[in-house]
Amino acid sequence: MIRIGDIANRYEISHRTLRYWEEVGILESQRSESGYRYYNEENMARIQQIVILRNLDFPIAEIEKIFLTSSSHHTLDVFKNHYTRLKEDARHAQLLIRILENLILQLETTKDFMTMLSGLDEQLKQPMTALMQGPLNSLSERMINMSQKNLDHVRIVKLPPMTVASYRAESTTPEADCAAVMNSFIFAHSLHKRAGFRHFGFNNPSPSEGNPVYGYEIWVTIPEEMDVPAPFEKRYFSGGLYASAPTTLQEIGERWMQLYHWAKNSEEYDVDFSFQWLEECVDFEAFISAPEAKKQLDLLEPIKKI
C-alpha cells in the first residue's frame, strides 16, 4: 500500500488529477484511520499503465476510454486511431522539413532575396496542398491539435486590481469543501450576475509529503463598498502580469507543468514567484453544472519580463 502523496511525487501527478481519476472510476483508494489515502498493488499497476500511455502521447480522454470500457475491440480502435494520428503528424513534420530545407538552400544561394520571396506563393502551392490533405483535413485543425499537446500558444494577460471576498478550507478534499461554502455565498448575493464577475482559486497551503490535509482558497470579485461577513474575508488584489493557458480538470496537473516549463524556456518572460498562481473559473455557471471531465479553467502563472 502506497500513500497518494508518495504517488503524486513519484510520477509528478497532481492530487487533483488522482482524485479526478477516482471520481470517474479509473482508480480506487482506501482511507486509513489516520485519514491517509492509499493505493493497493492493483491501483499502483493501473497508475503505471496510465503513465506509460501518457509517455506514448495518448490524450487523457483516450486513456479514460481504455480503462472505463472492458471491450478489447474498443481498446484496439483507440490504439489504431492514435497510431494514425502519430503517422499523420510525422508526415506533416516531414513535409515542413522538406519545405524549409528548400527555402534555406535558396536563401543561401540567391542573389535577389526579394525576387525569391515574391515567388514563394507559387513554389509552396503544391506542398501546401499536400499539407491540407489527410485525416486532419485543414491546417488550422493541425495547429490546434499541436498547440493543445505542446502548449505552444500561451496568452499574456494583465489582471487589473480588484476587491475580492476570500474563503479557505483545509481538508483532504479542500477544493470541493471550499467551493461548497463559496458557491452559497455567490448565489446568496447574486455575485455571478454582476458585470465583470471573476472567480479564482489556488492551493493554500499546497499538498505536502506525509500529510493528507492541504488547503484551497477561492477569491470572487465583489463591489468595493460591500461588507463581507465571517467566515469570509475582504481582500484587495493588486493584479499583475500572467501567462494563461486553458485546461480541463482531467489534465490540470500536466498543464500546470507545461505552463511552468513554457515560462522557464521563454526568452522574454520568467516565473514571478512573488505573486500568487491562480486557477480562474471563466464561466461560473457552466463550470458548476458541467460533468467533471468537461469542467474548464484558465491557468494563470505570474510572470515578469526578463
Question: For the chain, which residues make up each domain, given as ranges?
Answer: 2-68, 72-150, 155-305
Contacts of 294 (CB under 8 A, 6+ apart): 248
Q: Please confirm whether the linkage preceding 205 is cis (ω < 30° from 0).
A: yes
Average pLDDT over residues 204-220: 89
pTM: 0.67
**Does residue 243 register a pLDDT over 90?**
yes
Cell numbers standing for residue 248: 480541463
- Find out whether 216 and 174 touch, Cβ atoms under 8 Å: yes
Alpha helix locations (H) across the chain? Answer: 4-11, 15-23, 41-55, 60-68, 72-109, 113-118, 120-131, 139-150, 174-188, 252-265, 284-289
DSSP class per residue in 61-106: HHHHHHHH---HHHHHHHHHHHHHHHHHHHHHHHHHHHHHHHHHHH
Average pLDDT over residues 217-226: 97
pLDDT number for residue 122: 62
The owner of cell 485519514 is: 35
Q: What is the mean pLDDT of the chain?
A: 84
**Does residue 156 register a pLDDT over 90?**
yes
What is the rounded distance in angstroms from the CA atom of residue 82 to the CA atom of residue 66?
Answer: 12
pLDDT number for residue 116: 65
CATH number of 155-305: 3.20.80.10
* CATH fold of 2-68: Multidrug-efflux Transporter Regulator; Chain: A; Domain 2 (1.10.1660)
Q: Please confirm whether the linkage preceding 59 is cis (ω < 30° from 0).
A: no
pLDDT number for residue 151: 62
**Does residue 195 register a pLDDT over 70?**
yes
Measure the CA dihedral 142/144/150/153, to 10°: 130
Q: Do domains 2-68 and 155-305 have the same CATH topology?
A: no
- Find out whether 175 and 288 touch, Cβ atoms under 8 Å: no
Digit-coded pLDDT (tens) for 63-95: 888 888 878 888 898 899 899 888 888 888 888
What is the rounded distance in angstroms from the CA atom of residue 72 to the CA atom of residue 14?
Answer: 29
Query: CA nearest 248: which of 145, 170, 148?
Result: 148
Digit-coded pLDDT (tens) for 104-117: 877 777 766 666 66
Q: How is the beta sheet containing 2-3 ordered, strand by strand?
A: 2-3, 37-39, 30-31
Cell numbers standing for residue 270: 520568467
